Amino acid sequence: MANELAVGDKAPDFNLPSSTGEKISLKSLKGKTVILFFYPRDNTPGCTKEACGFRDALPRFKKISVAVLGVSNDSLESHKKFIDQFGLTFPLLSDEDHAVSEKYGVYKEKNLYGKIYWGIERSTFVIDPEGKLKGIFRKVKVDNHIEEVLDSLK
């Protein structure tokens, strides 16, 4: 595992297939503030609530020129169904080999009802226009998270 990322560090670059049909890289977003939120699975209650929260707040993010991207280990096909079902209006990136999740230190051993498995720990990263980490939210609780992220941009 990589060392824990800290505010002020250069954000790890990524270049992932997206629901828009093209690859999206951090380099391609240089000059923009980026919200990169990692979530465990498409179509699960917490992830749906979080993604819909970002969807509903998107006009507020766009007003301040912030790009929002969701990342999970799900396939593009799964992302497409998730987007269609909930009318999501921002790209979802597919990190099926979890290489980017590992770079960001969010791919972790988890325990659900005594079952140990590897997966994404819900986390959000705010990346400034120069590619540096401006905000890091780990072990995110969905309630009020969008407001936390918006406050960090002030």
Active site residues: 47
User: What is the helix (H) or strand (E) element at residue 136, kind and residue range?
Assistant: strand 133-137
Is residue 33 within 8 Å of 127, Cβ to Cβ?
yes
CA–CA distance, 128 with 134 (Å, rounded to integer)? 6
CA 47, 19, 116, 11 dihedral sign is negative
CA–CA distance, 29 with 31 (Å, rounded to integer)? 6
